[in-house]
Structure 1
C-alpha cells in the first residue's frame, strides 16, 4: 500500500521523488549530498528514499556471479573436490543469521544462471531451500519443471516439501509437480500399496526424470529438521547414528562418505530413492553455516554435488579437511 505523499521544496512530490532519487543515485552516480542539494531536501530524507526504493523493488542490486565463482576459496573447492563450480560469499564479521541470509540470497541470484529450458529440477525441503526460493527474483525459464522429491509431512515449520517446490516453481515460472502422498506411512506394507496406486506410481516415475537437484544437507542432531518434522523419531535417529549415519539428504540418511544408510523408515517412505540423486547432470548444494560442514562433506564425497554455494568460513573449514 502506498504511503502518504511527501513534498519536497523543489518541483517534484509524491512517489515521483523516490524514483528521482533512485535514478540520480544509481544511474547518474550522484552522491547523497548532491542529490539533497539538487532536490532541496535533507540528506537523511535521501537515505530514506533510497531505502524505500529498495524495499518497493524499484531498485535491484546484484553483483556479477564471476566475483564469487572465481574467488580463491571457490577455485580451491572446485580443485580439491572435483566440483564444476562453487560460489563463495564473504562472512567476516557476520553473525549466524546474517551469514545464512547472505548465502541464501547469493544462491538465489546464482540459481537462474544454472538452469536451462527443458530442465527437470528436483527439490529437497527445508528452511534453506524455502528461503532461497523466496529470495529468487521472479523470472521465467521456458519448459522448466520443478519436482517435489519427498512426500508431505505434518510439521510446525512453514517450509514443508510441497511449500518449497511450489514456491520455487512460482518464482521461476515453471511447471510444478508435487508429490501427493505422505512422506512416511505407519507401515511398510501400506507404503508399498500406496506406491502401486496408479497416480502415485506415475508421480514417483516422474521423479526419476529430474536432471538437476537442489538441496541443503541436513544434520543428524536431535534438534535437526528430520526429527522436528516427524520424518524420524528420536529412536529412528539413534538407530541410524549407531549404523554410521552422519547426514541427511532429501530425507534419507547417509554415512560420512555419502553412502545410504538404509534403516527401518526407508520402507515406509514415499519419495525418490537416494541412489537416483547420485551423478545427476547437476547437484546444487547450499550450505549457509558451519553447523552443516560434516553433512556437506558427506554429500560431496557421495557424488551428489557438482555446484556448491556457501560462505567463506565453511569453504575454509572444508579446505582444511584431509
Structure 2
C-alpha cells in the first residue's frame, strides 16, 4: 500500500529548494496511476532524472510511505533475523500450516527448491543427505537439465528393503538435473563396527567418500531424537536407541547421533555409521539445511550454534523457536 500525505507548510526558503507540489504530482502519477518515469517526465515537463530524484526525495521526507500488506512479510523478517543470529548466507522461512510431520516435510521441501536451484551451476558436485524432507525436496524440484553436474550421497545408501528407498533422494535429484549419481556403497548403519571398517577400506567407497567431501554445495536435513528417519526405518533398534539417548543424544545428523555441542557422541551406534562426519561436512563451502518441526529445534540450534550451516530453509514455527 502506498500513501501520499500532505506535509506541513515549510519556510519559503525550503519551498524554493523543495518543489513539494511538483513532487506530490509526480508521486501520484507514479504510485497511483502507474505511469512510467518517462511518461511522467513528458507530462509534467521535466527530464527523467529529475523525476527519479523527486521520487526519492518524497520517500526520504515521508511524503510517500510504502507498506507491504501480506502474511508473508513476517517470513521475510524471520529469515533476516535467522541470518543475523546464526551468520547465514541464506535463510528462507515458509508458512506453517501443516497438520502433521509428513505434511510439514512436503511444505519445507518444496519451499527449498527455488533458493537451492539459484545456487546450482554447471560442473558442480552436489552432496545430498537422506530422509523424508530431502525426498520431498527432490520430488518437488522441476526438471532442470544441467551440464557436467554430479549428485553424490553424503551417507550410506544400501538398504535391506525397497520400501526404505522412499527416503533416498539422490537418484531423484540426479534425474531432475540430468546429473551423474554417485552412491556411498554401504548401509547407513552397519551391523557392527568391524563391518563398517571393512567396507570403509574398500577403494570404491573411499573414492566416493572423497567426492562427497569435495562437494561445492551440500543439501541436508536433520532428525529430532524421536522422529529421525533413521529410527523410523529400524536402522537403530529400541535397545540401541535407549542407550544412545542415555548417552546424551539430542538428534541425528548425517546418520550420526549428536550431542548439544553438535559433536558426534561417543557411542557404539555411531561407530557403525557410513557417512561424512559433521566436522568433515563443515569443510564444504555451501551447506544448506532443509528442516522444520518442533521436535527438531534442539538439534537444529546445536548445528547452527556451531556454525555447521551456511543456509537454512524452515517454517515459521521452527524459525520463531530458533530465535527464542
Q: Which TM-score applies when normalising by structure 2?
A: 0.71
* Structure-2 residue corresponding to 1:308: 312
Would you say the 8 A contact 1:258–1:303 is kept in 2?
no
Over residues 13-70 of structure 1, what are the superposed CA-to-partner deviations in whole Å (9 max), with x where a residue is unaligned? xxxxxxxxxxxxxxxxxxxxxxxxxxxxxxxxxxxxxxxxxxxxxxxxxxxxxx8898
Aligned to 2:184, the other structure's residue is in SS state: coil
Q: Distance in 2 between matches of 1:297 and 1:135?
A: 26
In the alignment, what sits opposite 1:159? 166
Question: How far apart, in 1, do the equivalents of 2:107 and 2:314 lie?
Answer: 9
Question: Partner of 1:48 in structure 2?
Answer: none
Contact 2:82 2:88 in 1 (8 A): yes
Q: Find 1:71's aligned residue among 76, 100, 105.
A: 76
1:80-229 equivalences in 2 (<5 Å): 80-91=85-96, 94-96=98-100, 99-151=104-156, 152-155=158-161, 156-160=163-167, 163-221=168-226, 224-229=228-233
Structure 1: segments with no counterpart, 5+ residues: 1-66
Q: 1:233 to 1:302 in 2, by over 3 A?
A: farther
Question: What is the distance in 1 between the residues matched to 2:271 and 2:88?
Answer: 32
User: What runs of 5+ residues in structure 2 fail to find an aligned partner?
Assistant: 1-71
What secondary structure, in the 3-state scheme, does the structure 2 residue paired with 1:150 have? Answer: strand
Report the Cα offset of residue 203 of structure 1.
Answer: 2.2
Q: 1: distance between equivalents of 2:144 and 2:221?
A: 23
CA distance change for structure 1 residues 284 and 182 in 2, over 3 Å: closer, same or farther?
same
Q: TM-score, normalised by structure 1?
A: 0.71
Report if aligned partners of 1:146, 1:165 keep a CA contact under 8 Å in 2.
Answer: yes
Q: Distance in 2 between matches of 1:219 and 1:118?
A: 34
RMSD across aligned positions (CA): 2.2
Q: Does 1:294 align with 2:298?
A: yes
Structure 1 residue aligned with 2:275: 271
Change (3 A) 1:237 1:116: same
Q: Give the conservation status (yes or no) of the 8 Å contact 2:222–2:296.
A: yes
- Give, in angstroms, the shift of residue 305 of structure 1: 1.2
1:233 equivalenced with 2:240 (yes/no) = no
Q: Is the 8 A contact 1:68 1:88 kept in 2?
A: no
Comparing 75-84 and 199-208, the one that deviates more:
199-208
